[in-house]
Structure 1
Amino acid sequence: MKLSAGTSAQPNPVSGVEREPDALPSGASAAIAARLDRLPSSRTLWKIIALISLGGLFEYYDLFFTGYVAPGMAKSGLFSPDSLGFFASLAGIKVAGFGTFVFSTFAGLWLGVVLFGQLADRYGRRPVFTWSLVWYACSTVIMAFQHTGEMVNVWRFIAGVGFGVQLVTIDAYISELTPLALRGRAFSMNQFVSFCIVPVVALFAWRLVPVAPFGLDGWRWVVLIGSAGAAVAWFLIRQVPESPRWLALHGRVAEADAITTDIERRIETETGTPLPAPHVEVPEEESAGRFREIFARKYWRRTLMLSVFNMAQVIGFYGFAAWVPTLLIARGINITHSLQYSFIIAIANPFGPLVGTYFADYLERKTQIILGLIVMGVSMLGFAHATSPVVLITLGVVFTLAANIMSYAYHSYQAELYPTRIRARAVGFVYSWSRFAAAFAGLAVGYFLNLGGALAVATFIAIAMVVGITVIGVFGPSTKGIALEQISH
């Protein structure tokens, strides 16, 4: 039910608390934020988080099939110099041909977050989320039917632009819809749902990549399955409301009030108890955000810190995730067994965020990030020296669990450090450095693998983890138990 702004004082039909005539218009964003932050854990809230996560599920499928389809794409001859076209010029720095595919993936992600990440601040979280999903699903279908490495890379780049935009929007969406006390768990559950798809794509790759069902290369089937799932997710995400915080900040007070009121009504019906009175924090500045504001006095240190951190963490995260089968082959495992072992390691992906639900809101966010980076660096160095399949799989599982705990924690952390008016563009900018670094890290991993094998790759990753630990540990502010509007001040 919509409540018009500026009406006479009347009982709130949800909480039974009287609302002053101008309560919403005079401090709309602060009032809406206060009402959202006092909401308890409920099926209603977790359903919203689940729907957002399902929308992003196949974006993770799309990201993670990168490593698992590599052996099949190479077997198809897509990375030979003749097939790569202008990408073949990278052979001059001895980069493995598959590195060009990784490069194209993350170069597209980088362009998406830099050029289009701000769209969610301008047009809203919901429309940008849904249409970016359509963009990358269609682009990926087209990519699946290309027959040269050159055109596969071109369409991979275009698809990357789409899911680059979506990654940024998800972080802003969840941080704004989730109550203060549940923010950490909301991000851990989001990543749990998202990472559930990784074992699925690994299983499909294991069973399909070595064969060619109906005469179509197995890797193409893996790609097409993800795009079909994304089409289903598009319909699911349309059930998610727009961010009331964003609506209120853009003067659409009645819509923000209506969505918040509906959520409140459903939660009260579900719990059978009235909601507590909202506590209004320091109101956020109600003005149109500008890109240059992320470099203003309040935020430039955070922007610099997160930019450096994102470049460092992604070297470890995707340096392993995008190269698991290839790294196993470098340790003497054949293609079939490397895909089998990769599937076993991939099963661990959802369990990192799931474990995190027990401490996500009790342990400082930056502490979770630092501990994750430490374990990633140590386990990767161990992986480079191991030869036993059992030890390789165990270390791969440990690395994956740590990486995914670190992942949900930093996704939550960086979204918390900026106000609603610039949240998407700020997250997009700092996150873009991870895409930029990942694009070149893909080339670098190929180079180091060629130069010194898995040990050279592990050393490269460990150094990056030390950089990430340093910048977060020294310059990262605390956010545990603090409202978004207060953090932005």
Structure 2
Amino acid sequence: MAEASTTIRTNIPARLDRLAWSKFHRRVLIGLGTVWILDGLEVTMVGSVASRLTESGSGLGLQAGQIGIAAAVYIVGACVGALVFGQLTDRFGRKKLFLITLGLYIVATVATAFSFAPWYFYLARFFTGAGIGGEYSAINSAIDELIPARLRGRIDLIINGTYWLGAAVGSALVVFLLSSVFPSDIGWRFAFGIGAVLGLVILVVRRHVPESPRWLFIHGRDEEAERIVAGIEREVAEETGQELDDPEETIEIRQRQRIPFREIARTAFKRYPRRAVLGLALFVGQAFIYNGITFNLGTLLSGFFGTASGTVPIFLVIYAVGNLLGPLLLGRLFDTVGRKPMITIAYLGSAVLTLPLTWIFYRQWGGEAAFIVAVSLTFFLASSGASAAYLTVSEIFPMETRALAIAFFYAVGTGLGGIVGPLMFGSLIGSGHRGPVAIGFLVAAGVMALGGVAELIFGVKAENESLEDIAEPLSATDGASDS
């Protein structure tokens, strides 16, 4: 059992929260936030090349239903990776793990490019997902612990929204890679190779991002935390030309080298049961609608609208841009209007917009153009809600459990919604009839609406609040009531 070794009083959280936006924060944004671009590339490339992978000359010859299986396998890998690496992130530090998980992603995505059979493709997708899932817990916890409180909401949403920048870029590249320039069994392989190259570039940048000072002082490395924060302060002061005052707000911490897993689990479900329900509802809702529709969007377009495989990525670029604009345009409101009203609007609003989307699909009104516009409008709101789910679980649980909390709610929520969604839609699409697929859209809308209701009931006011005020560290208090 972990024992308290030393009690210290520190003002590091307050010092980090009062910093002006600077080159340091932009370095964090680029070095860490770009993981979402990788995930966007991965998920959308599979959707973009899905119709090509089902062709006889692709070298794989997958069936439409097997595309759904590959999507589910990727999600299973992400869930496993999140849980395994999430616990290691809280125990061994943010930086060590966000380097390891990125390395795993690079190796696995290169392996995907050399796929020669369905079973091998599934295996490579599993480990690619494991790397990305591990990234979520390591990256989101580090970002929230380094970004000032007053900017945390919009920055988190922008970072999570860059998933769709990766999606747009990936889809645009696939248009070229699936063209007649490359043989049908080669172009899609280059698509996955691009992800590996981008991962190597990010790895170089990421080496210059420091360990989270908040994690350091909890784990008995307060002198190292002081050095890092002092260095950041000097950099910000030189950039702004203003001398920084030391804030008076401090927190007393009992330093510990290790936090038992049972204490972490007890924190979520005994101390914060309402927040646990909220986290699950938000993640299940966004995972179901996103993974179900995004992974299968290519086959929806080609199977029900007759869209050519080389044209599918063009429509996916439009879809990705709509998703990207949501967090970019609405992100500021999550810090000003507030988390609770904006998350509720994002979830319930996207559920309502799914209704006309379903009608357009079922009645074939306006063809593929009207369908993709309706999808883009729906996910303009849904993307903000999905990004806010990660922000929420990162904020509302204590620092010692932050990475594992992200991992747990991602894994359980995505396991329930992100695996069932792709399998359900893959099966419904395989029926070849619009009616069953339309019902699938309505089910997705209902699951998303439940997330909005949960936010309305259990949402936490976290805008402009220090992480330590939203949820006191376990090492700073014997307990706090749920709120």
TM-score (norm 2): 0.87
Quick one: structure 1 residues 202 and 350, their matched pair in 2 at CA, closer, same or farther if it must change by over 3 Å?
same
Amino acid at match of 1:462: A
Deviation at 1:265, TM superposition (A): 0.7
Q: Which runs of 5+ in 2 are unaligned?
A: 1-5, 473-483
Relative to structure 1, the CA distance from residue 299 to residue 117 in structure 2 (aligned partners, 3 Å threshold; closer, same or farther) is same
Match of 2:330 among 353, 356, 374: 356
- Find the aligned partners of 1:78 and 1:439 in 2 and give their Cα distance: 25
Equivalent position of 2:260 in the other structure:
290
Once residues 295 and 255 of structure 1 are traced to their aligned partners in structure 2, the CA distance between those partners, rounded to angstroms, is 30
Residue aligning to 2:135:
166
Residue 265 (structure 1) aligned to one of 220, 234, 246: 234
* Preserved contact between residue 296 and residue 426 of structure 2 (Cα < 8 Å): no
Gaps of at least 5 residues in structure 1 are 1-24, 89-94
Structure 2 distance, partners of 1:178, 1:360, is 15
Post-superposition Cα deviations, 1:95-128, rounded to whole Å, max 9, x if no partner, equal 8221111111101011111222111111111111
Structure 1 residue 284, shift from structure 2 partner: 5.5
Q: Which amino acid aligns with 2:381?
A: A
CA distance in 2, matches of 1:410, 1:46: 23
Give the alignment's Cα RMSD to 1 decimal: 2.4
**Equivalent residue in structure 2 for 1:302, among 264, 267, 275:** 275
Q: Contact (CA 8 Å) 1:109, 1:432: kept in 2 or not?
A: yes
Residue pair 2:87, 2:403 contacting (<8 A) in 1 also: yes
Deviation at 1:355, TM superposition (A): 0.6
- The structural deviation recorded for 1:360 is 2.8
- On the 8 A contact 1:419/1:488 being kept in 2, the answer is yes
- From the superposition, tell whether residues 220 and 231 of structure 1 become closer, same or farther in structure 2 (CA, over 3 Å): same
Q: Offset of 1:429 from its aligned partner?
A: 0.7
TM-superposed deviation, 1:282: 4.9
Change over 3 Å in CA distance of 1:238–1:76 after alignment to 2: farther
- What is the SS of the residue equivalent to 2:336? coil
Instruction: Supply the distance in 1 between the matched residues of 2:240 and 2:39 (Cα, whole angstroms).
Output: 34
Check the 8 A contact 2:22/2:236 in 1, yes or no. Answer: yes
Q: Please, which of 155, 158, 180 is the counterpart of residue 186 of structure 1?
A: 155
Q: Is 1:177 matched up with 2:150? A: no
Determine if contact 2:12/2:214 at 8 Å carries over to the other structure. Answer: yes
Give the deviation of 1:405 after TM superposition. Answer: 1.3
Match for residue 3 of structure 2? none
The match for 2:318 is 344
Aligned to 2:480: none
Q: Which moved more, 1:435-444 or 1:248-257?
A: 435-444
Tell me the percent identity: 26
Asked if 1 retains the 8 angstrom alpha-carbon contact of 2:108 and 2:127, the reply is: yes
Q: For 1:255, which of 212, 217, 224 is the aligned residue? A: 224
Is residue 407 of structure 1 aligned with residue 378 of structure 2? no
Q: 2:114 & 2:196 partners in 1: Cα distance?
A: 13
C-alpha contact (below 8 Å) 1:211/1:218 kept by paired residues: no
CA contact (8 A) 1:56 1:194 kept: yes
2:359 maps to which residue? 385
The 5 A counterparts of 1:322-341 are: 322-336=295-309, 337-341=311-315
| Cα separation, partners in 2 of 1:77 and 1:105, compared to 1, 3 Å | farther
DSSP 3-state at the match of 2:84: helix
**Larger deviation, residues 367-376 vs 155-164:** 367-376
Q: State the partner residue of 1:27.
A: 8
Shift of 1:56: 4.3
Aligned to 1:149: 118
Give the partner amino acid of 1:477: V
Q: Is the 8 A contact 2:7 2:255 kept in 1?
A: no
Aligned pairs (5 A) from 1:201-212: 201-211=170-180
The equivalent position to 1:280 in structure 2, one of 249, 255, 271, is: 249
C-alpha separation between the residues in 1 aligned to 2:47 and 2:471?
Answer: 38
How far did 1:192 drift?
A: 4.1
Letter in 2 for 1:228: V
Match of 1:428 among 407, 416, 419: 407
Normalised by the length of structure 1, the TM-score is 0.86
| Structure 1 counterpart of 2:325, one-letter code | F
- Return closer, same or farther for 1:289/1:156 CA change in 2, 3 Å cut-off: same
Q: How many angstroms does 1:330 deviate by?
A: 4.4
Letter in 2 for 1:444: M
Answering whether residue 82 of structure 2 is matched by residue 122 of structure 1, we say no
| 1:246–1:189 distance in 2 versus 1, CA, 3 Å | same
Question: Offset at 1:256?
Answer: 0.6
Matched, 1:465 2:448: yes
Distance (Å, rounded) in 2 between the aligned partners of 1:362 and 1:472: 17
SS at match of 1:27: strand
Q: Which residue identity lines up with residue 398 of structure 1 in the other structure?
A: L
Kindly provide the CA deviation profile for residues 118-151 of structure 1, in whole angstroms up to 9, marking residues without a partner as x.
1111111111111111101111111211211111
Secondary structure of the structure 1 residue equivalent to 2:347: helix
1:371 aligns with 2:371: no
Seen in structure 2, the aligned counterparts of structure 1 residues 78 and 436 have a Cα distance that, compared at 3 Å, is farther
Conservation of the 8 A alpha-carbon contact between 1:308 and 1:468: yes
